[in-house]
Amino acid sequence: MSTSALALSQAVELTRTGDLWLFRGRSAVDSAIRAVTNSPVNHVGMAVVLEDLPPLMWHAELGQSLEDAWTGTHHRGVQLHDLEAAVRTWSQRYGQQGWLRQLDATVTPAMEDELLRVVARMDGTPFPTTAALIGRWARGRVRRAAPVESTYCAEVVAATYQAMGLLPTDRPANYYDPGSFWSGDGLVLAAGAVLGAEIRIDVDGSDPSSARRGRDRIVPPHAAEA
């Protein structure tokens, strides 16, 4: 693991579509997820940076404090959030340390189209209970796909990576846990893509930019409805 660190504002400026954001917390649920999956982290999200929109985070969580940029509503489960606001929420409200892993790959317009199709399909999917989450993951470890009525954060990232051609499809999305995306797990991506070492994120005590948050919203394209 890299010992380098970045201020959140710098990391937000540097992040590109496909970069991963990982988190480690101290709550009972966080600890349970790490213990069962033998993982050093308990949450993972993926950066989405498209055209002139602010950087966004694509992930699944129990909270509903931030506006979903896809629907313009507040809801639990799979969501697309302003990246800076999401990282501050996970750091300041949930007490979690965050890291950035940068993706070394060319994200083409076709890959962005696949990403938006996944967002259109999965946004709003409920987050499972802790017991159901562990059950979904255990099912995936024996290469059995789980029903689609709920999904957790690593499933969302894995399914999106697979749709974009960044991750092989020989394993179901529920095979993966947050630690699968930590450098120590040795995850092998497809098409020559590589993830860099973890960069620790330093979040200061100031508020995120209220001028950006909630102002820009993605209008689902017709291609994403196919």
Residue 69 in domain: yes
DSSP 126-191: PPPPHHHHHHHHHHHHTT-PPPTT---HHHHHHHHHHHTTSS-SSS-GGG--GGGGSGGG----ST
Q: Smallest Cα–Cα separation from 60: which of 176, 169, 141?
A: 176
User: What total of structural domains would you count in the chain?
Assistant: 1
| CA dist., res. 55 & res. 59, Å (int) | 13
Residue 154 in domain: yes
CA dihedral over 193, 42, 6, 47, signed as positive or negative: positive
Residue 211 in domain: no
The contacts of residue 144 (CB under 8 Å, 6+ apart) are 172
Give me the residue label for tokens 């069962």.
Answer: 36
What CATH number does residue 12 fall under?
Answer: 3.90.1720.10
Please give the structure tokens belonging to residue 79.
């969501």
Three-state DSSP at 148 gives coil
| CA dist., res. 82 & res. 160, Å (int) | 18
pLDDT computed for residue 52 by the predictor: 81
pLDDT computed for residue 3 by the predictor: 56
Q: Do 47 and 19 meet the contact criterion of CB atoms below 8 Å apart?
A: yes
pLDDT computed for residue 26 by the predictor: 77
Ranges of the chain whose pLDDT falls below 70: 1-3, 28-30, 36-38, 205-226
Residue 220 in domain: no
| CA dist., res. 198 & res. 41, Å (int) | 12
Residue 224 in domain: no
Residue 223 in domain: no
| CA dist., res. 173 & res. 188, Å (int) | 14
The torsion angles phi and psi of 64, rounded to 5 degrees, stand at -140, 30
Residue 222 in domain: no
Residue 127 in domain: yes
Range of the domain at 25: 5-204
Q: Do 44 and 59 meet the contact criterion of CB atoms below 8 Å apart?
A: yes
pLDDT computed for residue 46 by the predictor: 98
